[in-house]
Copies of this chain bind each other. A is one copy, B any other.
Amino acid sequence: MSPRRAKVLRDRGDSDSPGALRRHLIAVTQHLLAAHGLIGLTTRQIAREAKVSDGVLYNHFAGKDELVLTALGERATELVRDFLAARPEPGAATLEQNLAQLARAVLEFSAGIVPLVTGLFGQADLLHAFLSGIHADQVGPQAAFAATVEYVAAEQHLGRVADDVDPVAVAQLLFGACQLHGLVSQLRSAEDEAPEQDAVPAADLDAIVVVLLRALRPVR
């Protein structure tokens, strides 16, 4: 009475819920996107990796672009959610502890978002669509940046951060450094043919926190 399910789902004993294959396709696409980027990504590759026929994609999405944008958007939302959950509370703990926590959250966010977004540049159509979609809701990557600015501003109001630092500049420095990290480790993994993610480089991050701390602390 119901239509048949894809062989791959039957074999895997995957959930029977509606939209299972749709989610399967999104997951596979996210995986490929993170591993190899958007450029070489073909619909056939996705189908092959998903153990599914070439045409299924079009039963669940308007086309390749919609699938890719959905995969990108969902993962980005997830990363932002994780970031917002992990960011420190202004005034709680010490500034140093908070800054370390913030830096770690930014780094994890960057490690996730960089390989995703990396292939989007130059792909005018997709890039534009992605940005439009992101500006619409409040969970786009810029939400993470905004939250960071807000955190610094809040600490400033509490008197734990010097008045003459610009919270936006601080966020730019922190995000910049972390995304550079993300980029470099992507490069390094591409070079070493080692697709496995490096453990978070704790030492480097500590050095960055030390520098930022010096910048933020009010002169005694």
Residues of B within 8 Å of A172, CB to CB, are: 177, 180-181, 204, 208
Q: What is the interface of chain A mostly: helix, strand, loop, or mixed?
A: helix
Partner of A131, one of B177, B181, B190: B190
A178 at the interface (CB under 8 A from B): yes
B124 touches A36 (CB 8 A): yes
B214 touches A37 (CB 8 A): no
Which of A23-31, A79-87, A114-122 is the interface stretch? A114-122
Q: Given A131-B187, A179-B180, A180-B179 in contact, is the A173-B211 Cβ separation under 8 Å?
A: yes
Interface centre among A1, A169, A212 (most CB of B within 10 A): A169
Bound state CA distance, A170 and B216, in angstroms? 14
A186 at the interface (CB under 8 A from B): yes
Residues of B within 8 Å of A115, CB to CB, are: 121
A215 at the interface (CB under 8 A from B): yes
Bound state CA distance, A173 and B103, in angstroms? 12
A180 touches B175 (CB 8 A): yes
A128 at the interface (CB under 8 A from B): yes
A211 touches B166 (CB 8 A): yes
Beta-carbon contacts of A105-126 to B below 8 Å, as 1s and 0s?
Answer: 0000000000100110111100
B127 touches A187 (CB 8 A): yes
A68 to chain B, nearest CB (A): 12
Beta-carbon contacts of A153-177 to B below 8 Å, as 1s and 0s?
Answer: 0000000001011101110111111
A19 at the interface (CB under 8 A from B): no
Beta-carbon contacts of A183-219 to B below 8 Å, as 1s and 0s?
Answer: 1001100110000000000001001101110111000
17 contacts between A and B (CB under 8 A): A1-B4, A36-B122, A37-B124, A118-B121, A121-B186, A131-B187, A162-B214, A164-B214, A166-B207, A169-B208, A172-B180, A173-B174, A173-B176, A175-B176, A176-B180, A177-B177, A179-B183
> A residues touching B (Cβ–Cβ < 8 Å)?
1, 4, 36-40, 115, 118-119, 121-124, 127-128, 131-132, 162, 164-166, 168-170, 172-181, 183, 186-187, 190-191, 204, 207-208, 210-212, 214-216
